[in-house]
């Protein structure tokens, strides 16, 4: 394997930048990943507990507003509710800006890419009220601290997150023979959503070795996983199905519902050989190609199995395999990665990005991302955004990318770079003759920069 710093930054990092040197070895990439999280310190976002506490305030304001409807005090209550809701929308876009800054300003690009990867693998989003603004705090607290740890710890962190429990309706799941069901004397309302997604999406994969019986047994084992707005996650033994459940041939549970058997089942699922194959393939698809090299997938899966899911070892297996360094740029950047890597390439000053107001962030970034097909924090389902290149290469999506490339850089950078130099610093050795000709023939700097950002070499990695 011949290590290529430029390819390393384009394929495994956040893209080339004239201000930031690309990594010099796989070892350096892994060392940065397991070191201090400098971007989280430099560009903080609200942690989950604080954002979750805001949802309590939001609920209280909404309740007060409903209660006072038709009364003289309603107008003031309505104003308080609207002001708070507006502030949460502003917080959400400021969180977006901080994540953009991390991507644009980091020397630890693999960490930013992995945080996005795992946030998508464990997709969760709020369905109503202040929960709609929790996706970034969820990623910050449940995912980011674990990207260089063990997969089982990452899995447990997301499955016990109130946002995941809310998103997959786990809070309403009741064991058929639980104390609560016995008191109600009616249908228990077992919900299988979380159990199904844990098996199908998060661990074993859609073709994994599980049956509908395993789904139902795991759903019964999960009863009791819950949260409330004051305390966050909690385990409600009154909702838990008593007795043991058998999942993939192993028994879990006890006469009285407890949390520990649930955690043990998650640890076992995290270390299952099928999980190793599923995660290895997803990583290979994300970083190399829609149709990844079979030997690369098996190499990564074997390291996952050997290490018990210790993720730095898994990433090392990915980075050491020759197939990961095929020189052809294949995967299309999703819209966020496209605009964030463009900010990195220009480069947009951190102060400039930080100073953008809510309307500017919406006009320059959030609205165009929606047109490109990636509405911020709003994937269609729990399987997250597509890894399929064809999902991003659509007439509307391409049109939106081109319009952004021609309009946004002028709004973000007062003095645009010379397009000929920009092609070199942005694409390195991947700047082919067509790109260089287009950059040199452009009538204006804005046009030349747009042509470089629109080139296939920049759109892919």
Whether the ω angle into residue 81 lies within 30 degrees of 0, i.e. cis, is no
The pLDDT score that the predictor gives to residue 255 is: 76
Q: Please check the confidence at residue 416 and state whether its pLDDT lies above 70.
A: yes
277, 203 contact by CB (below 8 A): no
Which residue from 265, 405, 417, 436 is spatially nearest to 349, judged by alpha carbons? 417
Position with higher pLDDT, 257 vs 64: 64
**Is the confidence at residue 1, as pLDDT, over 70?**
no
**SS3 helix, strand, coil % of the chain, rounded to 5?**
65, 5, 30
* Nearest CA among 339, 293, 344, 354 for reference residue 318: 293
In 10 A of CB 204, how many CB atoms? 22
* pTM score, whole prediction: 0.95
Instruction: Evaluate if residue 182 carries a pLDDT over 90.
Output: no
| Distance between CA atoms of residues 129 and 308, nearest Å | 39
Position 186 confidence tier, pLDDT thresholds 50, 70, 90: low
Q: What is the pLDDT of residue 56?
A: 87
Structure-block tokens of residue 382: 């729990």
**Structure confidence at residue 129 as a pLDDT band (50, 70, 90):** confident
pLDDT tens column, 373-393: 999 999 999 999 999 999 999
Average pLDDT, the chain: 95
How would residue 183 be classed by pLDDT, with cut points 50, 70 and 90?
Answer: confident
CA–CA gap between residue 248 and residue 45 (Å, rounded): 39
User: What is the Cα–Cα distance from 253 to 226, expressed in whole angstroms?
Assistant: 17
CA 381 to chain centre: 13
Q: Over the stretch 197-235, which tens digit does the pLDDT of each residue have?
A: 999 999 999 999 999 999 999 999 999 999 998 889 999
DSSP 151-193: HHHHHHHHHT-HHHHHHTTGGG---TTSHHHHHHTS------H
What is the arithmetic mean of pLDDT over 59-67?
92
In the chain, % of residues over pLDDT 90? 88
């Amino acid at each position: 394997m011949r290590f290529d710093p430029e390819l390393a930054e384009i394929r495994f990092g956040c893209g080339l930048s004239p201000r930031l040197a690309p990594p010099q070895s796989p070892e350096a990439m892994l060392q940065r990943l397991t070191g201090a999280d400098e971007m989280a310190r430099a560009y903080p976002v609200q942690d989950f507990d604080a954002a979750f506490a805001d949802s309590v305030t939001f609920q209280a304001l909404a309740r007060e507003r409903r209660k006072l409807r038709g009364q003289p005090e309603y107008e003031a209550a309505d104003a308080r509710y609207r002001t708070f809701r507006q502030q949460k929308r502003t917080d959400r876009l400021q969180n977006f800006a901080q994540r953009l800054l991390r991507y644009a300003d980091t020397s630890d690009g693999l960490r930013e890419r992995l945080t996005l990867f795992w946030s998508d693998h464990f997709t969760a989003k709020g369905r109503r009220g202040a929960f709609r603004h929790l996706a970034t705090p969820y990623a910050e607290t449940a995912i980011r601290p674990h990207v260089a740890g063990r997969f089982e710890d990452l899995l447990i962190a997301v499955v016990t997150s109130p946002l995941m429990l809310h998103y997959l309706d786990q809070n309403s799941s009741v064991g058929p023979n639980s104390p609560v069901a016995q008191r109600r004397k009616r249908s228990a309302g077992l919900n299988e959503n979380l159990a199904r997604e844990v098996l199908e999406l998060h661990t074993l994969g859609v073709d994994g070795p599980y049956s509908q019986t395993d789904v139902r047994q795991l759903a019964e084992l999960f009863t009791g996983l819950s949260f409330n707005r004051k305390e966050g996650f909690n385990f409600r033994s009154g909702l838990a199905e008593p007795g043991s459940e058998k999942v993939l041939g192993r028994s879990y549970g006890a006469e009285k519902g407890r949390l520990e058997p649930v955690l043990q089942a998650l640890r076992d699922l995290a270390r299952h050989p099928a999980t190793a194959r599923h995660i290895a393939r997803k990583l290979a698809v994300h970083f190399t190609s829609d149709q990844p090299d079979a030997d690369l997938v098996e190499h990564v899966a074997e390291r996952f199995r050997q290490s018990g899911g210790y993720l730095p070892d898994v990433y090392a297996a990915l980075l050491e395999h020759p197939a990961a360094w095929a020189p052809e740029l294949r995967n299309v950047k999703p819209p966020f990665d496209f605009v964030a890597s463009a900010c990195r390439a220009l480069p947009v000053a951190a102060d400039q990005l930080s100073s953008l107001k809510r309307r500017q962030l919406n006009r320059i970034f959030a609205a165009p991302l929606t047109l490109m097909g990636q509405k911020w924090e709003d994937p269609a389902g729990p399987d997250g955004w597509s890894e399929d290149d064809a999902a991003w290469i659509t007439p509307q999506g391409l049109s939106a990318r081109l319009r952004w490339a021609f309009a946004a850089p002028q709004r973000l950078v007062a003095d645009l770079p010379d397009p000929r130099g920009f092609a070199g610093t942005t694409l390195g050795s991947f700047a082919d003759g067509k790109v260089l000709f287009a950059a040199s023939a452009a009538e204006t700097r804005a046009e030349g920069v747009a042509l470089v950002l629109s080139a296939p070499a920049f759109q892919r990695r």
